[in-house]
Structure 1
Amino acid sequence: MKHLLHHMAKYLLAAGMLLVTLSLRAQQSTRLTGGWEFLKGDLGGVWEAVRPVTAGSPESVPLWDSVALPHCFNARDAVDPDQNYYEGPGWYRTQLQLKNPYKNGRILLHFEGAGQKTNVYVYTQEVATHTGGYDEWTVDITDAVKAFTKSPDSKRFKGRVPLEIRCDNSRDLQMIPSDMSDFTVHGGLYRYLNLVYVPALSLDEVHILPRVDAGGSTGTVQISTAFRNPDHLGEAVLRLKIKDPQGKMVREEERRVQPQGEMQKLLSFTVNKPQLWSPSDPALYTVEAVLLSPDGTQQTRQETFGFRQFTFMEHGPFMLNGKRLLLRGTHRHQDGAGVGAAETEAMIRREMLLIKAMGVNFIRLAHYQQSPLVLHLCDSLGILVWEELAWCRGGLGGETYKTQARRMLTNMINQHYNHPAVIIWSLGNENDWPGDFAEFDRQKIRAFMKELNDLAHRLDSSRLTAIRRCDFCKDIVDVYSPSIWAGWYSGRYTEYRDATEKWIRQVPRFLHAEWGADSHARRHAEDPYARLGGIPTGQGVAEKAGDAALSGGKARASRDGDWSETYQCDLIDWYLQEQERMPDLTGSAYWIFKDFATPLRPDNPLPYVNQKGVVERDLRPKEAYYVFQSYWSDQPMVHIYGHTWPTRWGAAGKKETVKVYSNCAEAELFVNGRSYGRKKRDSHDFPAAGLRWELPMQEGDYTLRVVARKGRVTVTDSIAFHYQTAQWGSPARLSLRQVNSSGDTATVEATLTDSHGIPCLDARNVVRFGLTGDGVLLDDLGTSDGSRKLELYNGRALIRMKKQGGRSVISISSRGIPSAFLDLSSGSR
């Protein structure tokens, strides 16, 4: 991790500058994070949230919990192995201390996203409803606050204004996304909620449309505005300052404007020799807008934009600013261990920095509009974006369903219009997947897809549209991504290139979104292909109905493979070296960056977790992360495969392969202090680009160290492991031991052995941890050491617990094997 953090350091300044930009953009905005109470379940009505009661009296129930925002009421149960995650209503309440700095100003609540249906109340007055868990929306509570403060009931709140919010993620066939989607449809106030003060007349939207000519010598900028003007105030003055990425003034302008609610073109101008935005140099211009109202009040707002020119060549590569750029991408879900969808700003920033440090220049935001912070980070870090409407699976609903889709697509485009990172608006995902309705009419789906495509182009003519995996709509959108899962859901990964080149010829603009393999973190294999001999080839590599199931259907790696990190690394390694050989490839996006919660996979090694991530759900990198770095990162790196593989195995004298992933020209391996020679990197020499050594192994302990050089920079890595030659019999005994203690947190390891005590290093039994006593398990996290039920990885499993200053007994059980127990107290080590 040390060299990984070094790789991330260069991006920290850009992320820090982003905070300044965001604070200027909303200088009268406050995040409402503290002072909230939450009730899981429903109330008889909003009055139950505000009625006067005496603490401890019968009327005080149901009991509310103190929480901070963002908050998700599926933070834990989304990956609870023993139950379906909660889908239903939940209530939030707080009391606002309001002080608007603007005379006659407005009081707004700006929701960055809330799942999935939301009702907003000021005291007992409902002021807004919203359907859709991912777009931003704003509520003007000014008049409701005035009405409340004039009511006799306001006296008991002592100058504060009660606010209640009901969120509901109940199943609803007339709402997108479908509950058939392969991700949790979370509930709650899981993105930031902002209290915003604005003048009586204020800027509502500022759209900036920059263009640059083919040679990059001249840029044009068109600025349009829309205003919030409920009191119908007259002419105002708008002052604009446009600055280049170094802060130098490019243009100053003052215009008299007639405030309108609809977007109006305000100003167009040219910029000579603009600095171009790109992943390697994400140059951002700024627009500072100052609005002077007729009553003399002033509002300041800041937006950023960038000049770039992109083209998807027909049946050819992607071009950015006149040069080919291979799109090296991944995907992101809003989901994290212990928080569900309620990721904080710090969590989001850490994840995006890890993505950039992996060498990514492109990301698909799956499968819905995401936090504004994510888009700002993509701008400042230099990550091109495919952003997606949440029309996912199930079919096509009625007019309520379509109205929501139209509104959310409109909001996504309008709200993220200024981000230079965005190049694609996606209209949906897997819309060829039926199931929510008795009718599945392809022609009706085509008609609605065409309607959305026209709407997207009408709202924004500067970007392209796309969908993934709906072949009967592939001719409607600008860019199409078919299903290619060679080596996982069907076929072998060696078929990847042929399948890809076939699709490049079939559709005018091709981009391969979604490929990869699941891996159970910490599980490794000496031979990951042992059970894959029966997989047929030449029968297509698309994902078909049932291929994600762990039983039934034809032979495939997703069903028959070992789900090891070893196989995942090999598949990724093969794809990446093949991508370097396809000059017409626009690029691809690996599915997915981070493991995430899904209700559709209860039988996975980690129940209810899609495990295709190259990092775990808590952002700890798996081995695959470094395979990507070895191909994509510009920062010198080296990594020996197997950091979480403490015991390897085989016969005495057997030659085992040691793989090293690096982007350096050469590397030298040392085993127990002795050099085993240097190897030169050759990306066409699979696996590990030729950086692999065959070592004769004997029973014992090994320390491996590698030294790699890139120019004048030297990087190193090392691992230690034990090599076991003893063969094991049938699994017979479970045991527990404490392997680490840090403060009040203990880590316990379960091990499965045969009747002679020999570790069963290929055992994949399902085990269950339990605890009784004063402590608590750190489970329901959806990680390799944060689930009370999981499959073993190489005959072992880890769990962490909080001792809480007392005594606890941890248990481990597995069907057909005697349970084991471990007595722990706060003083034990």
Structure 2
Amino acid sequence: MRPAMYPVPPPSIFAPLAKAREVEGVSVQGSEVKNHLHKTLELNGRWKFKPDPEEKGEERGWFYPEFSDTDWEEMEVPSNFVDRCELQNFYKPVWFRKRFGRLEGEVRVLFEGVDYLAEVWLNGEKLGEHEGYFCPFQFRLTGKLQEENVLVVKVQNPFDRGIRGRGVLLTFLSTKHYPKGVLNFHDCRPGDCLSPKLSQSLGTGGIYRPVRLLVSGRVHFDWVLITPVLEGKNARALVDVFLSNEASSPEEVELQLELEGVRKAWKVVAEPGCNRVRLEWPLENPKLWFPWDHLELGGPHLYTLRSRIVKDGECWDEREDRFGVREVRLGGELEKRGDRRVGPEAYHWFLNGRKIFIRGTNYLSTEWMSRVSRELYEKDAELIKRANMNMVRVHAHLEPPLLYDVFDERGIMVWQDFTLQWGYRADREFREKCKRMLAEMIYLYYNHPSVVLWCCHNEPLWIWFKMGNRRLDDELFQVATSIDPSRPVHKASGKGDSHIYLGWYGGLFTSVRKRRDPFPTEFGSQAIPLGFTRWVEDAWPPKVKRWRYHDAQLSILCTYLGSWRKYRTFEEFAKASQLYQAELLKYYIEQFRIKKYNPTGGCLSFWFVNWWPSIGWGVLDHERNPMLGYEALRQAYSPLLVCVDWEKSIFRRGEKVRLPVWVVNDWHREFGTCVVEWRLSRTRNRVIEGSRKWTFAEIHLPWINFPVLSMPTTVCPGEEKAEVLSEGSFELEVPADSVRKAGEISLSFGEPIDLRLELLLTRGEETLSSNRYHFLVR
């Protein structure tokens, strides 16, 4: 169960791990620490910078310490290029310079995140270069420091010339060169799929995470990996400590670990280079990590392991690592067909041996990662929990480690995608680069209990066509499964799991009723934020190119809402789009929950937040203001849900209709005898009528817009006042983690009427769940 090591080249912080030699730790009585040698100094703040459009900075000696940078401007670090107007669409190098004083001891400079290409010099000497955006990298400075030092970094967010074509062809013909996932090409980022240039506008480049100087003794930590193993009521923490000895001869040190107030120590003889010490820590009756919505099982308990390297009473290095005791696996048990499949193709989720139904969404906080903070992540976590979701899929990119810290604490599970989206090069060099980055991702987030699955690629082209780089994903899958045997690994999202866009890319959303999907990980529709005209000048009436730059698929909106010309104001059109999205999401989720474990193991909507001023699939705008779809998610994702299984919302006069009523309980506790009360009322609903016709508003931007053969008509809430026509109730038992049919409501009306159906699930005087639906008789 211990993680395997995969070779990663310098200057990645994980480069030493694969070269580590095994050394034994001999248990000893821990010594007292009298003073601390290690410290961390921040290099954040104002840095000198200068763009290099001609790429002649090296020729002009910009990396030399004596070079005069007095006329250079200053930029805050961390930051993204997009924060400077002149760099928002700049793809050439940008040079940075920072001065600092002399330090004693073993000194390294750590870059926590630079996007995307970086070359580093100290006092005119080139230290090395790095490619990537999410993995920290470092350089040893010992023996190179002077009284005053000049650190120089050349950063480039390169233009990806593998992105080519227009519209849908841009998606399917592009074989991108840089594995940045949704951060450089996506239909939810600036420019959508308009053109190679516009699709890469407002890029993500920059020194976007902190830069630090690390001071330690000759022996210091490289990394610590912790693997919890459940064994009945007890557990073991398998601890792999990686430490490097920068001296040329072996060094005897004391390794001290402290967990839950208990301190242990081992004598270690560290050989020159990286050393791996394998330790075990028994945990009796451990507190297990469960998601936040299952407090009846335990909740998100975390352990903190404190590690020190001590030499003669002096602490040479120190670190803290948090972990949770939890075991995750995927399995089958499809009740009606006796299916016993195991692994990702089944998608029934088991946490610590208990089956958990997944309710979640896809997530991207922002592409400009210098703007993230604990406050932002905690706000998003609270909004996720308030919407009754227990999982997010971090969609085709990686967030900074702070997100996973917050989700560990808040008990939100993470499906973690690797940073690949659609098509890429097929050569060996690119495959090796991706395998190295995948290994870095796994090591970086390995200790986080919130991360429950690795996914290698989102929507690679080979899942649809006989094209695309399947060999890349086969090799990535092998790397991930060999490194981390403790988590499920999925090769390609969209293959095995389901991406369903009925009611958006063709068809009606009610057609999902006929599907049997083990695990839908994308579904949804676009909705227009009410603030869009405040963020974008002259946005109404719609200018097709401008709206498309902000991701709006106007022709599809008009297919399901009717032409924008029939709406008197922008607010009316926007409200209609939000009503449609809310009804679609509610229908999808209720259908998946009625099919709970038969076969569906959960579902993830697409997506949570429109991270920039755009018209996208999110239920929050970029300012985190909820749209109507957010309330629909909150209602449909209630752990205890009463709902109706309906196929259509418009009935003919005299038609006899039977509406099955279901109660879904995701909690692992029973509710005993409950009552479903229903009430049917006459009201006045709102009807959104679409169009059977194809809309050619975007003909200059080829996009797949499948025809809708029947008129898309959506019945939405209208007036609140209503006249009660009939009512009734059903009694049923509600077991733990169950789906139960409560009864059927029969309807038949001989005249046109607008109807509202209200449901209430009660236990004694306590209201457990409520719901409402809107129908028409024509």
- TM-score normalised by the chain length of structure 1: 0.59
Deviation sequence 1:95-134 (CA, Å, 0-9, x none): 343464xx531222232x2211112222433212111122
Asked if the contact 2:117/2:156 (under 8 Å) is kept, the reply is yes
Change (3 A) 1:300 1:518: same
In 2: Cα distance, 1:69 partner to 1:554 partner = 41
More displaced stretch, 561-570 vs 576-585: 561-570
Quote how far apart the aligned CAs of 1:712 are.
10
* Paired residue secondary structure (1:378): helix
Residue of structure 1 equivalent to 2:525: 517
The Cα offsets for residues 311-346 of structure 1, whole Å up to 9 and x where unpaired, read as 21123621222222111112222417xx56542443
Residue aligning to 2:488: 464
**Cα drift, residue 456 of structure 1:** 0.8
Change (3 A) 1:450 1:291: same
Identity of aligned residues (%): 20
In structure 2, the residue matched to 1:131 is: 131
Q: Which residue of structure 1 aligns with residue 589 of structure 2?
A: 576
1:168 matched to which residue of 2?
157
Question: Does the alignment pair 1:498 with 2:499?
Answer: no
The residue number in structure 2 matching 1:301 is 319
User: What one-letter code is carried by the residue in structure 1 that aligns with 2:355?
Assistant: R
C-alpha contact (below 8 Å) 2:374/2:403 kept by paired residues: no
Separation in structure 1 between the aligned mates of residue 764 and residue 412 of structure 2, nearest angstrom? 26
Distance 1:231 1:568, change over 3 A: same
The aligned counterpart of 1:110 is: 111
C-alpha separation in 1, matches of 2:125 and 2:365: 32
Q: Does 1:612 align with 2:620?
A: no
For each residue in 1:35-62, what CA deviation from the matched residue of structure 2 results, as whole angstroms up to 9, or x when unmatched?
Answer: 223434445215347655596xxxx3xx
> Which of 627, 634, 640 lines up with 1:629 in the alignment?
634
TM-score in terms of structure 2 length: 0.63
| Alignment of 1:380 onto 2:437 | no
Q: Deviations over 1:442-475 (max 9, x none)?
A: 5x8333222111111121111111144454xxxx
The alpha carbon displacement at 1:224 in A equals: 0.8
CA distance in 1, matches of 2:581, 2:719: 26
**Contact 2:619/2:626, CA 8 A, preserved across alignment:** yes
Question: For each residue in 1:148-207, what CA deviation from the matched residue of structure 2 results, as whole angstroms up to 9, or x when unmatched?
Answer: x2xxxx7xxxx3534334232322543213654434651111223333223221010111
Residue 321 (structure 1) aligns with: 352
User: 8 Å contact 1:352–1:374 — kept in the other structure?
Assistant: no
Kept in 2, the 8 Å contact 1:592–1:614? The answer is yes
Cα offsets for 1:544-586 (capped at 9, x unmatched)? xxxx994789996499796611111111111222232122122
Deviation sequence 1:484-530 (CA, Å, 0-9, x none): 1222223222122433x1x43xxxxxx32221111111299xxxxxx
Residue 268 to residue 54, structure 1, CA distance change in 2 (3 Å): closer
Residue pair 1:40, 1:73 contacting (<8 A) in 2 also: no
Match of 2:224 in 1: 206
d(CA) in 2 for partners of 1:657, 1:465: 45
Which whole-Å CA distance do the structure 1 matches of 2:178 and 2:241 have between them?
A: 31
Q: Is the 8 A contact 1:359 1:633 kept in 2?
A: yes
Query: Which amino acid counterpart does residue 385 of structure 1 have in structure 2?
Result: V
Aligned equivalents of 2:267, 2:514: Cα separation in 1: 58
Could you tell me which amino acid in structure 1 is paired with residue 523 of structure 2?
A: W
Instruction: Tell me: CA distance 1:485–1:255, structure 2 relative to 1, closer, same or farther (3 Å).
Output: farther
1:274 aligns with 2:286: yes
Give the direction of change, closer, same or farther, for the CA distance of 1:142–1:265 in structure 2 (3 Å limit).
closer
Structure 2 residue matching 1:568: 3-state secondary structure: helix
The one-letter amino acid of 1:513's match is T
CA distance in 1 between partners of 2:152 and 2:609 (Å): 35
Distance 1:370 1:308 in 2: 22
Matched letter for residue 91 of structure 1: V
For residues 676 and 252 of structure 1, what CA distance do their matches in structure 2 show? 71
Q: Deviations over 1:242-287 (max 9, x none)?
A: 434xxx53x6343424357556352124322211101121111121
Equivalent residue number for residue 421 of structure 1: 450
1:410-489 correspondence to structure 2 within 5 Å: 410-432=439-461, 442=467, 445-469=469-493, 471=495, 480-489=496-505
Q: CA 1:556–1:260 in 2, change beyond 3 Å: closer, same or farther?
A: farther
The 3 A distance-change label for structure 1 pair 387 and 679 is farther
User: Distance between the aligned counterparts of 1:360 and 1:497, measured in 2?
Assistant: 22
Aligned to 2:40: 29
Whichever residue aligns with residue 175 of structure 1, its letter is Y
- Secondary structure of the 2:227 match is strand
In 2, the alpha carbon distance for the partners of 1:453 and 1:612 equals 29
Change (3 A) 1:470 1:614: closer
User: Aligned residue for 1:8?
Assistant: none
Q: Aligned in 2, Cα 1:260/1:358: closer, same or farther, shift over 3 Å?
A: farther
How far apart are residue 615 of structure 1 and its match?
A: 1.1
Kept in 2, the 8 Å contact 1:191–1:343? The answer is no
Q: How does 1:735-750 map to 2 (within 5 A)?
A: none
Distance 1:425 1:76 in 2: 35
> Could you tell me which residue of structure 2 aligns to residue 692 of structure 1?
none
Q: 2:324, 2:309 → 1: CA distance?
A: 23
CA distance in structure 2 between the aligned counterparts of 1:26 and 1:515, rounded to whole angstroms: 53
Contact 1:392 1:428 in 2 (8 A): yes
User: Aligned equivalents of 2:463 and 2:349: distance in 1?
Assistant: 32
Indicate yes or no: 2:587 matched with 1:586. no
Q: State the alpha-carbon separation in 2 of the partners of residues 36 and 273 from structure 1.
A: 51
Name 2:235's counterpart in structure 1.
Answer: 219
Distance 1:679 1:293 in 2: 78
Provide the C-alpha distance between the structure 1 equivalents of 2:238 and 2:610, rounded to a whole number of angstroms.
41
Q: Give the counterpart of 1:407 among 412, 429, 436.
A: 436
The letter for the 1-side match of 2:56 is G
Relative to 1, partners in 2 of residues 1:680 and 1:204: Cα closer, same or farther, differing over 3 Å? farther
What amino acid is the match of 2:96?
R
Given that 2:423 and 2:469 are in contact with CA atoms closer than 8 Å, whether structure 1 keeps it comes out as no
**Matched residues in 2 for 1:616 and 1:422: separation?**
26
5 Å-filtered alignment, 1:620-769, equals: 620-632=625-637, 655-656=684-685
Aligned equivalent of 1:824:
none
1:142 match: secondary structure: coil
Tell which has more relative contact order, 1 or 2 (C-alpha 8 A, sep 6+): 2
Tell me what 2:100 maps to. Answer: 97
Contact 2:526/2:615, CA 8 A, preserved across alignment: yes
Q: d(CA) in 2 for partners of 1:621 and 1:274?
A: 39
SS in 1 for 2:448: coil
Name the structure 1 match of 2:307.
289
Q: CA RMSD in A?
A: 4.5
Call closer, same or farther: CA 1:610–1:54 in 2, change over 3 Å. Answer: closer
Aligned counterpart, 2:32: none
Residues 422, 461 of structure 2: 8 Å contact kept: yes
Q: Which runs of 5+ in 1 are unaligned?
A: 1-24, 79-83, 472-479, 505-510, 525-547, 598-605, 637-652, 659-668, 686-695, 698-707, 716-829
Q: 1:162 to 1:131 in 2, by over 3 A?
A: closer
CA contact (8 A) 2:365 2:609 kept: no
> CA 1:257–1:625 in structure 2 vs 1: closer, same or farther (change >3 Å)?
farther
Q: CA separation in 1, counterparts of 2:556 and 2:605?
A: 25
Equivalent residue letter for 1:357: R
Quick one: which amino acid aligns to residue 110 of structure 1? F
Contact 1:74 1:85 in 2 (8 A): yes
State the SS of the aligned residue for 2:79.
coil
Distance 1:262 1:446 in 2: 35
Whether the aligned pair in 2 keeps the contact of 1:227 and 1:260 (CA below 8 Å) is no
Q: Tell me which amino acid in the other structure corresponds to 1:88.
A: Y
Shift of 1:374: 0.9
Alignment of structure 1 residues 386-405 onto 2, 5 Å: 386-405=415-434
Shift of 1:356: 3.1
Pairs aligned (count): 559
1:407, CA displacement in angstroms?
Answer: 1.3
